[in-house]
Amino acid sequence: MTNVQSSNSGYPRIGGKREWKRALESFWNGSISEDELLKTTEALRLDNLQKQKEFGIDLIPVGDFSLYDHVLDTSIMFGVVPKRFAYSGGQVPLETYFAIARGTKDAVASEMTKWFNTNYHYIVPELEGVTPKLVENRPLAFYKEAKEKLGIDGKPVLLGPVTYCKLAKSFGDENFPVLLKQFTPLYIEVLKELADAGAEWVQIDEPIFTSKLSEKDFQHVQQAYAEIHEAVPQVKIILQTYFEKVANYEAVAALPVQGLGLDFVHGDSLGLLRKYGFPKDKVLAAGVIDGRNVWRADLDGKLTLLEEIQTYVEKDRLIVQPSSSLLHVPVSTQLEEKLDPIIQEGLAFADEKLAEIVLLSKGVNDGTETIAVELKESRNALSRLNNSKYRQNVEVKETIGKLTEQDVNRSLPFAERIKEQQRRFNLPLLPTTTIGSLPQTPEVRQTRSKWRKGEITDQAYEQFIKNQIDKWIEIQEDIGIDVLVHGEFERTDMVEYFGEKFEGFAVSQFGWVQSYGSRCVKPPLILGDVAFSEPITVKESVYAQSLTTKSVKGMLTGPVTILNWSFVRDDIPRYDVLNQIAFALRLEIEALEKNGIRMIQVDEPALREGLPLDLEKRESYLEAAVHAFKLATSSVENATQIHTHMCYSEFSGIIKSISALDADVISIETSRSHGEIIAAFENNTYDKEIGLGVYDIHSPRVPSKDEMKQNINRALKTINPNQFWINPDCGLKTRKEEETIDALKIMVEAAKEVRKDQLAVVKS
């Protein structure tokens, strides 16, 4: 290698118009065969590879494609299948693969949780009682496919053994050495077969290295990579890290690999180079283009960054690439036909980022004068966006600047205001509720689509939404749920919906990214100053409340989640944007309360996922998150009850921050983690009310009453019944009506039986 090379770390799986999602769901509902699914996804995969080739990317990733999740793919490659799925060895059938992810009638799905600090979810490996062995060399199959069908000598991508073992379920640090020792020979086997097939570079993803490992753990890491190097010296390994700076930098940089990938966008990797330098025997894969956000890069700034990097690494040992896999961004801005041109030209999705990478590589290799036209075009596009009306809302900036500590505190502490709330709502012991959204059937989605296309009138659409609310208020009352919801039938997505209503946001047409399985979300674009203009949720909430004497919760998405699940402008501090969102929500909450909605849920499912991987940044993040939530919710009356919801969270380290949110009721996912989250409350006093989700809504499986009672009773061993609410894990938007009704009926029956048992204990 004599010049800087361009590389990609991973490409979006879903297709520009979510072709991947439609194929998966068609297969799951029986509309297409397994063979048709595989042919459709192969065509999409090859198209993705061909596109990268045409862009001029030198090192094209292969093996980054997945039918569900790359961590699950790694498990399947090594025959890691939980016993309950009756796997008998050999290549894992596709039916079993999807069963692990989604569950079956007889077997619960494996746990799913967030991939580091992103909104992507992975399937947690279950290694207990499993003897791993290589049953299918997936990277090899993808490498051969690209070579034989497209003439691409690709860069196979594997999830690294350290990260895989660290993410596995039910194993603590004391088991890590045993696991790593089990898997290292299997990785060697994979790499040997890739070497025999002709693979020159292999990317091994080890994002776990952004977390600090103990000295003892790192001794085992060093041994594993030494064994790999000794067994397969002919393969050049790029050890790829991302999402933050490397925690054990000197030790990681000394591992016997040929390349090291660092994130120069989200972590201070430049600071590491300045302090420690870079090994003379390695290639640096410099992640200088943001793999997690969608704004056009400041190419002048990136060239300056690359110039400094070259003071530590010669040009012939430098690779230019994104900061992480482009899995986290949409495919292409070319499909966006409705955005203001000023906004569109300020964006860079996956394809545009590849073009930026190739352009930067050319500029470094041939001189910036060879890309002068492109640099000027990029410069002008950024200038037009930065000077646009979207970023000049003086009133918003002044309002946020005048806020005081008094603006972020309720007037009474929880212990006092809960008494007023109990008198107002008069709920039974162990009250039941749902998290907010109810099933959005094909009819709901089709009607919304027709309305957006102008095929039905506003009046007809509003009446349709009212009819859905009528129907589900009646269903909830018939089931016997204590606190109701209106169902959110008017909402596309819990973040996008608010992005369509607040000033400072824009919504794309095809800006989809994968969240979990076939579930794709379309994060809104926070491009300017965020402001409230008119009530968003009041009409539907008030209508639902008019239909019942029971309380109906107003439903909002919290400021931290809106921030973390949006593509956020990068020209001002992120926490400034957070406070703008919080103040806009504050005005919405006040509008709900003014119109008689006295139970208001402000969901923060993304609070934990936004926690920085760098331990030094966590305290400031949590302080900002608590401040924003309280800014949004603190102006209500004491008798108005504030709820919040969080999912897929490890709470043991942030219990104090959760309590500091000062929400009256919090609901948390627990079913897929089989109640493990409860342990976080065993050694921490939590004085507010809490609902631990009693069944998993991400699986179509309807659990039994005994399962739900078991989950409830397990929680009640730790949590006072007077504090406890009963609810599903999460919103029910993606579930079918019949399974939702069946599950909620069972949930209410289970709650009533446990309630009866608890009251009997009190009387005795």
Residue 227 and residue 307 in one domain: no
Tell me the three state secondary structure of residue 621. helix
Taking Cα atoms as reference points, which of 224, 352, 246 lies closest to residue 295? 352
Taking Cα atoms as reference points, which of 275, 222, 225 lies closest to residue 245? 275
Residue 286 and residue 309 in one domain: yes
Taking Cα atoms as reference points, which of 75, 78, 160, 63 lies closest to residue 111? 75
Residue 458 and residue 310 in one domain: no
Residue 442 and residue 498 in one domain: yes
Give residue 587's pLDDT: 97
Give residue 306's pLDDT: 98
Taking Cα atoms as reference points, which of 484, 489, 483 lies closest to residue 464? 489
DSSP string, 415-474: HHHHHHHHHHH-PPSS-B---SB----HHHHHHHHHHHTTSS-HHHHHHHHHHHHHHHHH
Residue 140 and residue 12 in one domain: no
Is-contact 133 186, C-beta < 8 A? yes
Which residues form the domain of 191?
Answer: 59-240
User: In whole angstroms, what is the distance from residue 379 CA to residue 364 CA?
Assistant: 18
Q: Is residue 421 part of a domain?
A: no
User: In whole angstroms, what is the distance from residue 690 CA to residue 554 CA?
Assistant: 18
DSSP string, 260-322: EEEESSSS-HHHHHHHH---TTSEEEEEEE-SS--BPP-HHHHHHHHHHHTTTS-GGGEEEEE
Q: Which residue has the tokens 């045409």?
A: 54
Residue of 70, 121, 627, 698 marked catalytic: 698
Catalytic residue flag (residue 328): no
Q: Is 13 annotated as a binding residue?
A: no
What is the tens place of the pLDDT at every residue in 631-670? 999 999 999 999 999 875 566 678 889 899 999 999 887 6
Q: Is 738 annotated as a binding residue?
A: no
Q: Is residue 419 part of a domain?
A: no
Q: Is residue 722 part of a domain?
A: yes
Q: Is 520 annotated as a binding residue?
A: yes
Specify burial of residue 201 (Cβ count, 10 A radius: 0-12, 13-18, 19+): buried
Q: Is residue 270 part of a domain?
A: no
Give residue 684's pLDDT: 65
Q: Is 18 annotated as a binding residue?
A: yes
User: In whole angstroms, what is the distance from residue 751 CA to residue 761 CA?
Assistant: 15
Q: Is residue 377 part of a domain?
A: yes
Residue 525 and residue 498 in one domain: yes
Q: Is 20 annotated as a binding residue?
A: yes
Q: Is residue 316 part of a domain?
A: yes
Domain boundary among 323, 354, 387: 387
Residue 48 and residue 69 in one domain: no
Q: Is 345 annotated as a binding residue?
A: no
Give residue 561's pLDDT: 95
Residue 368 and residue 481 in one domain: no
Could you tell me the CATH number of the domain that includes residue 611?
Answer: 3.20.20.210
Q: Is 220 annotated as a binding residue?
A: no
Q: Is 730 annotated as a binding residue?
A: yes
Q: Is 595 annotated as a binding residue?
A: no
Q: Is 26 annotated as a binding residue?
A: no
Q: Is residue 725 part of a domain?
A: yes
Tally of domains within the chain: 3
Pairing mode of beta strands 641-646, 155-159: unpaired
Give residue 692's pLDDT: 82
pLDDT along the chain (764 residues), means of 10: 90 97 97 98 98 98 98 98 94 97 93 90 92 97 98 98 90 80 97 98 97 93 98 97 95 98 96 97 98 98 98 96 98 95 97 98 97 97 95 88 87 95 96 94 94 95 97 97 96 90 95 95 95 96 97 97 96 95 97 98 90 90 96 97 81 82 89 58 78 79 88 87 91 90 95 92 69
Q: Is 488 annotated as a binding residue?
A: yes
Give residue 764's pLDDT: 61
User: DSSP character for 526?
Assistant: E
Give residue 145's pLDDT: 98
Residue 685 — left, alpha, or beta (φ > 0 → left; ψ -120 to 50 → alpha)? beta
User: DSSP character for 347?
Assistant: B
Residue 290 and residue 206 in one domain: no
User: In whole angstroms, what is the distance from residue 754 CA to residue 291 CA?
Assistant: 48
Q: Is residue 748 part of a domain?
A: yes
Residue 376 and residue 506 in one domain: no
Residue 204 and residue 255 in one domain: no
Q: Is 512 annotated as a binding residue?
A: no
Give residue 677's pLDDT: 62
What are the residues whose beta carbons fall under 8 Å from the beta carbon of 244, sequence distance 6 or more? 210, 263, 266, 267, 612, 613, 614
Residue 671 and residue 727 in one domain: yes
